[in-house]
């Protein structure tokens, strides 16, 4: 079995590629070969000894679908990989559009449709949740700085200013909101999401939808330590039926097909869970799921190959993860190889 | 006389570390806090807890009752015990 995975940027804002690979390594596949698809020659996952067998550089989504397809087709002509797992939000639209052509090459995928992707988008979440009785923070979509003037009538500060794909900041006043708005607009484009700030504790769920409305598995986690970028640096699995019920409802309503992360805030004042975001892929902490007894990435691969997977009905409560910063040493020849040839064989 | 119980989702270690499985919150009890918590887990009512502590420590009842009340209120507010 040869599987190509993206998102090897194991930085302080980590992609899910490495934890997906670690999960697959424990998935019981025969002769597993992992192919890393990377955008930048300094993505840390390239240099990890126990991750990808070989890495190939691929073009950024902004280069256009055709160049991405040609590169993937070229890599496939060499590696003959069986499945491709994209793990980054910003590349998903491209891979979903390419899915029929990838499948025609013999590359399996397990991806949502464009409609499914759109329904759970940050700009559509409010409507989706309201229609389905799920608590959600109020939000408004801003397409110009002028829209920020409406904040005082719609919300009270602080508010959360979010980019359409990534990043979110808490703004305590108009001046801060303006600064974050410009920063996010320059980086990720429009619209900018202005969201009601719910004070409380953060909870996340990693889940897998079978594409027919069924939830193959789900593991809820409380963030124990959050970085200044808002990333969970430590977390612990918990038992919370309410989180699983909401996750089940979301997956069922969208008939979600693929991995998913649901981000919640438990309100300090009401005790209710507010759904902040639905991310259309496994999160960077997905390795906690197999650690707790649900190997969701491995289950997804098996489903992509047509295997019927019995939904998981159990996970270990109190299993925690702690990320660490660890310097990898490598000879500069590796950097030379990946940056000039666009390929690095780790010789495993 | 009051009686309390420790909810099933609270896991307590020998060293007084408490993990709430429903919220992921964690707490640390000091030595005497752990001892009182263990008495509550044994389903002792407040009178039985008072007797146990007053028999074993040099503390007057009034002082202990006041401190116990504070302690119990904290445990209740954090969801570490429930009144039955």
Q: Do B19 and A203 touch (CB under 8 A)?
A: no
Contact call for residues A321 and A285 (beta carbons, < 8 A): yes
**Reported CATH class of domain A116-120+199-322:** alpha beta
Q: Do A201 and B23 touch (CB under 8 A)?
A: yes
pLDDT of residue A338: 95
Contact call for residues A189 and A164 (beta carbons, < 8 A): yes
Q: Which of A66-75, A99-108, A149-158 has the lowest mean pLDDT?
A: A149-158
Residues of A with CB under 8 A from a CB of B: 201, 203, 221-222, 224, 235-240, 266, 317-318
Identify the domain containing residue B23 by its residue range.
4-83
Q: Is A46 helix (H, G, I), strand (E, B) or coil?
A: helix
pLDDT of residue B60 exceeding 80, the answer is yes
The pLDDT tens digits of the residues spanning A217-272 come to 999 999 999 988 778 899 999 999 999 999 999 999 999 999 999 999 999 999 99
Contact call for residues A306 and A83 (beta carbons, < 8 A): no
Report chain A residues whose CB lies below 8 A from the CB of B23: 201, 222, 238, 240, 266
Q: Do A222 and B9 touch (CB under 8 A)?
A: no
Report the mean per-residue pLDDT for chain B.
94
Q: Which residue of A has its CA nearest to B23?
A: A238
Percent of the residues in chain A that have a pLDDT greater than 90, as a whole number: 79
Q: Which residue of B has its CA nearest to A240?
A: B22
The pLDDT tens digits of the residues spanning A177-212 come to 999 999 999 988 888 999 899 999 999 999 999 999
pLDDT of residue A311: 98
Distance CA A219, CA A314 (A): 9
b/e burial code for range B4-24 (CB count within 10 A of at least 16 → b): bebeeebebeeebebbbbbbb
pLDDT of residue A165 exceeding 80, the answer is no
Question: Which of B11, B17, B18, B24 best probes binding to A when mutated, by most A CB atoms within 10 angstroms?
Answer: B24
| CATH classification at residue B15 | 1.10.10
Report chain A residues whose CB lies below 8 A from the CB of B9: 239
Q: Do A221 and B25 touch (CB under 8 A)?
A: no
Q: Which of A227-231, B6-10, B62-66 has the lowest mean pLDDT?
A: A227-231
The pLDDT tens digits of the residues spanning B12-40 come to 999 999 999 999 999 999 999 999 999 99
Q: Which of A146-150, A219-223, B45-49 has the lowest mean pLDDT?
A: A146-150
Beta pairing partners, B82: B5
pLDDT of residue A61: 83
Q: Which residue of A has its CA nearest to B26?
A: A224
pLDDT of residue A277 exceeding 80, the answer is yes
pLDDT of residue A23 exceeding 80, the answer is yes
Report chain B residues whose CB lies below 8 A from the CB of A244: none
Provide ipTM, 2 decimals: 0.79
Average pLDDT over residues B33-50: 94
Q: Is A327 helix (H, G, I), strand (E, B) or coil?
A: coil
More confident residue, A155 or A20: A20
pLDDT of residue A144: 86
- Single out the residue of A219, A214, A257, A245 nearest to residue A115, CA to CA: A257
Q: How many domains does chain B have?
A: 1
Note the CATH number of domain A2-110+326-345. Answer: 3.40.50.20
Q: Do A240 and B22 touch (CB under 8 A)?
A: yes
Residue ranges per domain, chain A?
2-110+326-345, 116-120+199-322, 146-192
User: What is the nearest CA distance from A264 to chain B, expressed in angstroms?
Assistant: 12
Percent of the residues in chain B that have a pLDDT greater than 90, as a whole number: 98
Report chain A residues whose CB lies below 8 A from the CB of B21: 238-239, 317-318
Report the mean per-residue pLDDT for chain A.
93
pLDDT of residue A152: 63
Per-residue pLDDT band at A347 (split at 50, 70, 90):
confident
Per-residue pLDDT band at B72 (split at 50, 70, 90):
very high
Q: Do A240 and B11 touch (CB under 8 A)?
A: no
Angle at CA A223, nearest 5°, toward A241 and A231?
A: 130
Average pLDDT over residues A45-55: 95
């Amino acid at each position: 079995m040869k599987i190509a995975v993206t998102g090897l940027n194991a930085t302080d804002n980590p992609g899910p590629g490495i934890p997906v690979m670690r999960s697959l390594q424990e998935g019981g596949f025969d002769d597993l070969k992992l192919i890393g698809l990377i955008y930048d020659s300094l993505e840390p996952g390239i240099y990890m000894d126990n991750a990808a067998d070989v890495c190939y550089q691929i073009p950024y989504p902004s280069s256009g679908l055709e160049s991405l397809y040609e590169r993937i087709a070229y890599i496939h002509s060499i590696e003959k990989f069986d499945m491709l797992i994209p793990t980054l939000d910003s590349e998903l639209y491209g891979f979903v559009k390419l899915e029929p052509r990838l499948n025609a090459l013999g590359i399996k995928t397990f991806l949502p449709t464009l409609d499914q992707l759109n329904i759970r988008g940050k700009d559509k979440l409010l409507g989706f949740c309201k229609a389905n009785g799920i608590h959600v923070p109020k939000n408004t979509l801003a397409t110009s700085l002028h829209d920020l003037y409406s904040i005082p009538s719609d919300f009270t500060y602080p508010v959360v200013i979010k980019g359409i794909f990534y990043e979110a900041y808490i703004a305590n006043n108009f001046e801060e909101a303006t600064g974050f708005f410009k920063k996010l607009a320059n980086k990720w484009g429009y619209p900018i999401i202005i969201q009601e700030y719910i004070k409380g504790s953060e909870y996340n769920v990693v889940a897998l939808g079978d594409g027919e409305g069924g939830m193959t598995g789900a593991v809820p986690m409380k963030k124990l330590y959050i970085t200044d970028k808002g990333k969970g640096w430590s977390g612990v699995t918990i038992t919370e039926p309410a989180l699983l019920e909401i996750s089940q409802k979301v997956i069922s309503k969208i008939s979600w097909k693929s991995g998913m992360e649901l981000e919640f805030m438990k309100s300090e004042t009401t005790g209710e869970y507010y759904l902040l975001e639905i991310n259309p892929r496994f999160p960077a902490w997905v390795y906690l799921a197999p650690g707790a007894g649900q190997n969701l990435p491995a289950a997804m691969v098996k489903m992509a190959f047509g295997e019927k997977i019995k939904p998981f009905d159990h996970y270990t409560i109190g299993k925690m993860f702690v990320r660490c910063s660890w310097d990898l040493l490598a000879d500069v020849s590796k950097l030379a190889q990946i940056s000039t040839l666009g390929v690095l064989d780790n010789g495993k | 006389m009051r009686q309390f119980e420790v909810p099933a989702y609270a896991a307590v270690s020998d060293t007084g570390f408490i993990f709430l499985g429903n919220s992921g919150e964690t707490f640390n009890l000091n030595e005497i806090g752990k001892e009182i918590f263990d008495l509550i887990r044994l389903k002792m009512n407040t009178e039985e807890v008072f007797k146990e502590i007053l028999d074993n420590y040099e503390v007057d009842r009034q002082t202990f009752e006041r401190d116990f009340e504070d302690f119990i209120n904290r445990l209740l507010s954090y969801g570490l015990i429930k009144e039955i």
